[in-house]
Amino acid sequence: MDLNSPLNMTMLCDFYELTMGNGYFQHGMKDRITYFDMFFRNVPDGGGVAIAAGLEQVIDYIQNLHFSEEDIEYLRGRKLFSEEFLEYLKDFRFTGDIWAVPEGTPVFPREPLITVRAPAIEAQLIETYLLLQINHQSLIATKANRICRAADGRVVLEFGSRRAQGADGAIIGARAAYIGGCAGTACTISDELYGVPAGGTMAHSWVQMFDSEYEAFKAYCETYPNNATLLVDTYNSLKSGVPNAIRAFNEVLKPKGITKCGIRFDSGDIAYLTKKARKMLDEAGWPECKITVSNSLDEQLILGMLRQGAQIDSFGVGERLITAKSEPVFGGVYKLCAIEKEDGSVVPKIKISENVGKITNPHYKRLYRFFTRDGGMAEADYITVYDEVVDDTQPLEICDPDATWKKKVMTDFVAKELQVPIFQNGELVYEKPTLDEIKAYCAEQIKTLWPEVLRFDNPHNYYVDLSDKLLKIKMELLNAGGKS
């Protein structure tokens, strides 16, 4: 294999997807229609809500599914697969249906983010890549959203490429961070590929390259007078850094009538330094000079600095965002929930476990969100069997999934189905939104959630309930030991 040529992502699958596929083929099950749900079990960091992301990359993957001659020769060399199966793979493509919640949607545990209806081999084969993209991007979008909410309206920039887990972690991670609320990235290629606004100014090496700190600042202001943000902590932030920045602003920018400028701190007691720097800048006649800070930040550190009165206009957040350091696994899973008989009837399937959290919700389902009719606030999500219709003109009792004795009656609400069709019979039927549209949609939807759900510590448990019909089916399957 030529490692310099583009990789065929069809082969980015767990090997058992192929061994199962061969087995399905050998036992006459390749055309059996199956239903799989992708969902997650817990919100990272003990939060109240997650952000769905990664769908665009899943779409691109589905559209390019194929096995090359080189792939098939590799599989033949493993001496595990029948020639009939390998022949089948030569013309392989996805022919099924996919429904998904749009990227940027706030989502909650145990509800289907993606539903796949497809022949068994096709549905099984896409599991790994689907989980890889949705898990990674949802994780980073969720972390970014927490950090941006902690910043309370201040600009947050993603600075993490050099600490990301590989190139894709940096490139796609910047995309996900933008969806979650970041204003831009330091990752140039993410701007080129996806339109995530890239920007940056200087490193400490720029300052060290000149004979003096002042000369470094003056040269930068001369080169980039409309984008002069100076890194002031290379030597001594308050004794030389800020005074030299003010001198450079006075000598280079002021004569040009430019008042837009900035300084950045990357080390030290940031809350203290920014308060002192703000006073110095204001007294020197630079009230519009913005203060940016960086240095291993996350939502808890940002909250702490702001509580201390730190004077910060924007944050550059690196490793703890791009790696979601505090909880770096999203934990999404992909489970069979139903099969379809030749007569078109749908047979529910369930996965049972002694670990209650690993028991799945069976059947081909629909996912609804209930909004208050007055104000449009999200009150609960509701999962039904596919053939049920929610009547939002009638009162409906729902339960807390983790405390079923906690109930509330929904009245005067609007029910909106969250999943939308993505593929039908293997053809894309979804018009992909732009990245800016996804970002705006995410911000809009976050505003529909109550503050109690959004808080970082001990958030309210958002209601995600099963319809009576679905709950009855689930209990019958449990009582029957999973046999449908």
Tens digit of each residue's pLDDT (9 = 90 or more) over 249-259: 999 999 999 99
Per the DSSP assignment, residues forming a β-bridge with 264 are: 231, 292
Identity of the amino acid at 92? F
Reported as a single tens digit per residue, the pLDDT across 273-298 is 999 999 999 999 999 999 999 989 99
pTM confidence score: 0.96
Where does CATH 3.20.140.10 sit in the chain?
16-140+328-479
Q: How far apart are CA 128 and CA 130, in angstroms?
A: 6
Model pLDDT, residue 1: 52
Determine whether 276 is exposed, middle or buried from the number of CB atoms within 10 Å of its CB (0-12, 13-18, 19+).
middle
User: Helices 127-151 and 166-180 sit at what angle, rounded to 10 degrees?
Assistant: 50
- Let me know: does 310 contact 268? Beta carbons within 8 Å: no
- The residue among 323 and 7 whose pLDDT is bigger is 323
186-227 pLDDT per residue, tens: 999 999 999 999 999 999 999 999 999 999 999 999 999 999
Of the candidates 325, 328, 337, 326, which has an alpha carbon nearest to the alpha carbon of residue 39? 337
Q: Which of 483, 148, 192, 447 is nearest to 303 (CA)?
A: 148
What are the two backbone dihedrals, phi and then psi, of residue 323, each rounded to the nearest 5 degrees? -105, 0
* Residues in contact with 298: Cβ distance below 8 Å, sequence separation at least 6, in sequence order: 147, 317, 320, 321, 325, 326
Q: Where in the chain is the domain with CATH 3.20.20.70?
A: 151-322
Q: What would the mean pLDDT of 345-368 be, rounded to a whole number?
A: 94
Q: What is the mean pLDDT of the chain?
A: 95
pLDDT of residue 7: 82
CA-CA-CA-CA dihedral for 404, 410, 414, 415, to nearest 10: 30
CA distance 80 to 99: 33
Which amino acid, residue 17? E
Q: Give CATH superfamily name and number for 151-322.
A: Aldolase class I (3.20.20.70)
Q: Looking at residue 2, what is its pLDDT?
A: 57
CATH of span 16-140+328-479: 3.20.140.10
Hey, what are 223's tokens? 């080169």
Per-residue pLDDT, averaged over 400-404, amounts to 70
Closest Cα to residue 144, out of 92, 196, 77, 211?
Answer: 196
Q: At what angle do helices 83-90 and 69-77 cross, to 10 degrees?
A: 160
Report pLDDT digits (tens) over 74-106: 999 999 999 999 999 999 999 999 999 999 999
Instruction: Give backbone dihedrals phi and psi of 379, rounded to 5 degrees, phi first.
Output: -110, -35
First to last CA, the chain: 46
